[in-house]
Amino acid sequence: LMLVNDKLAVVSPLIEKEYLKTIEDVLDVEVVVRTIGGSPLVGSIASVSNRGLLVYPLVTDEELEELRELFNTTVDVGTVNRGSIFLSAGLVVNSKGAIVGYETTGPELLRIHQVFFGKA
């Protein structure tokens, strides 16, 4: 229900408002409450690091631009594990590397590399 890097937390509207200040204080980040692609499952349908953000393909170009501005990083759409839109179920990423699910395909790996580590 949260999508977090070192600077920002996008938090699902399903999280009660009383917890937002605690999230902000504990993680020492700005907190923004929103959905992504109409889904409140923001932490499941996207993966973020300080170097990039990968989002499931059901987002609009306008949303991609909003997310690019919010996180101030590279943003693109993609999937993992042979087309799964639930990115966090098959991708753990930070600024130093990524771990992907067993069924992640070559094209999916290429997109992950491009978003988080520059052009392949």
Domains assigned to the chain:
2-117 (3.75.10.10)
Averaged pLDDT of the chain: 97
Alpha carbon separation from 100 to 87, 97, 103 (Å, rounded): 9, 10, 8
Does this model's pTM top 0.85? My answer is yes
Average pLDDT over residues 24-32: 98
> To 5 degrees, how large is the angle CA 89–CA 100–CA 37?
45
pLDDT of 92: 98
pLDDT of 43: 97
pLDDT of 120: 56
Q: Which residue has the tokens 């693109």?
A: 76
Kindly indicate the confidence band of residue 31, based on its pLDDT and cuts at 50, 70 and 90: very high
Q: What is the pLDDT of residues 43-102, one digit of tens each?
A: 999 999 999 999 999 999 999 999 999 999 999 999 999 999 999 999 999 999 999 999
Average pLDDT over residues 1-12: 98
The H or E element containing residue 93 is strand 91-93
Q: Is 41:1 a contact under the CB 8 Å cutoff?
A: yes
pLDDT of 119 above 60? yes
Q: What percent of the chain has pLDDT over 70?
A: 98
- Give the C-alpha separation, 111 to 102, whole Å: 16
